[in-house]
Structure 1
Amino acid sequence: MTETPTGDPWEPGSQWYDGEAGPLVRPYAMTGGRTQPGPTGVRFDLIALVTLDPAGPEPDDTVLGPEHRTLIDLCRPETQSVAELAAGADLPVGVVRVLLGDLLELGCVTVSRPVPPAHLPDERILREVIEGLRAL
């Protein structure tokens, strides 16, 4: 058996899906074993919007892993939701939340949430406004 450029799939301790997929990296390896986004206190709902902070520092490559860089690159062109980032990075949402917590602590991104439904105007009020506008 020949060794592939990225290592031998039959090497002890190496777990591969198949020859094309490469080695399996467990989610806890990407997050350093963490399951929560950190002490920021921010909840990363699926619909929370993440924007690259232009005034934020350019993070050092020694601090960030490749998954952090992927999230930054996805946020660079436009604001993305947490769900979109998870899909774009092909990572589990839990991992993306932890990595976004790191980026938020470093000041690389900002997070905003859409207006909660409880704070939206009542449908009855909106209908009255529409009827009033039609009467004009």
Structure 2
Amino acid sequence: MSREPEWVDEEAGPVVRPYAVARGRTRSSAPEIDLLASVVASGLPVPAKAETELGAQHRRLIATVAAQARPVVELAAELELPVGVVRVLLGDLLHYGLVSVRPPLAKSTGATENLLREVINGLRAL
């Protein structure tokens, strides 16, 4: 059982400001993490050194991405935390190798010539 106090009251909602969750940090220790980047748990056990440094929100974050990869922005919504706080927490987890972050898929550069021809042919068929 965690010795950390409960930071959410069922009726009142969060009882601690977001910067307290991130221990006053506003920037992640990791390089910039894109909002659409996918986060997945590495499956590694939490190192003994990290036990005291990682809080309840870190554990919630790991549990949320344990089953499948999720985008950063979706994690923020799920955990009801600001994106900046989630980025700080992810930086901590990346430091210990507990999660991996994959950049978002590159957008295609545009419609291909074949696709445009099919659209034109479809419009002519109308």
- TM-score calculated relative to the size of structure 2: 0.73
Taking the TM superposition and a 5 Å limit, the aligned residue runs for 1:38-49 are 38=29, 40-41=30-31, 43-49=32-38
Structure 2 gaps, min length 5: 120-126
Which of 15, 26, 37 is matched with 1:35 structurally?
Answer: 26
Q: Which amino acid is 2:69 matched to?
A: T
How far the C-alpha of 1:90 sits from its partner, in A, is 1.1
Which whole-Å deviations, capped at 9, do the CAs of 1:76-117 have from their partners, x for residues lacking one?
A: 111111111111111111110110111011100000112233
Which stretches of structure 1, 4 residues or longer, exceed 6 Å deviation after superposition?
128-131
Please provide the CA RMSD for this pair: 2.7
Q: What secondary structure does 2:51 align onto?
A: coil
Structure exhibiting the larger radius of gyration computed from Cα positions: 1
Which of 98, 111, 115 is matched with 1:123 structurally?
Answer: 111
Identity of aligned residues (%): 45
Say if 1:57 and 1:107, in contact at 8 Å, map to a contact too: no
Q: Does 1:84 align with 2:74?
A: yes
Which one has more relative contact order, counting CA pairs under 8 Å at least 6 apart?
A: 2
- TM-score calculated relative to the size of structure 1: 0.68
Structure 1 gaps, min length 5: 1-5, 7-17, 132-136
Query: 1:53 — aligned with what?
Result: 42
